[in-house]
Amino acid sequence: MPHVEARYQRYRRDRFVIVGAHTPEFAFEHVESNVAAAVRQLHAGFLIAIVNNHTTWNAYRKSYWPAEYLIDRDGNVRHLATGEGDYGQTEALIRELLIEADPLVQLPARTDVPDLTPKTPSRQRRTSAWTTSAT
């Protein structure tokens, strides 16, 4: 979560929006006050929706978590990454989308968030191909 919050703080003035979708797995994760406490503990400043019925998970046909989707201003999914790591690549793609949306945008200096996630076989990052055309 620290890298997600850092991106949000860095680019929110440039109309970058993050919406987290919390899909509970265990009974205690369905309790709104438990989720709110976790959000406060993680210092998340962006919107996090609680999706108790898995509709978002199912709509995106998710099989892995965590998952990051980059969606352009027209609502097209332009990038999907699952697992942890490769934060620099994702940030570069975020910057590319922001420039595409507004070629005159003055983005802050890029500051890569170090990847502190240990690499384990079950948590290796999978990424989709970057597409530049809307479908």
What DSSP element (H or E) covers 38?
helix 32-42
Q: What is the pLDDT of residue 133?
A: 42
- Given a cut of 90, whether residue 117 has pLDDT beyond it is no
> How many angstroms separate the CA atoms of 55 and 127, rounded?
22
Report the predicted TM-score, pTM, of the whole model to 2 decimal places: 0.72
- Given a cut of 80, whether residue 94 has pLDDT beyond it is yes
The total number of residues written for the chain in this structure? 135
Mean pLDDT of the residues in the chain: 79
Share of the chain above pLDDT 70, in %: 81
Structure tokens at 51: 């999706």
- Given a cut of 80, whether residue 106 has pLDDT beyond it is yes
Per-residue model confidence as pLDDT tens digits over 44-93 = 888 888 888 877 787 777 777 788 889 999 999 998 888 887 888 888 99
> How many angstroms separate the CA atoms of 19 and 13, rounded?
15
Q: What is the pLDDT of residue 113?
A: 53
Are 125 and 82 a contacting pair, CB within 8 Å?
Answer: yes
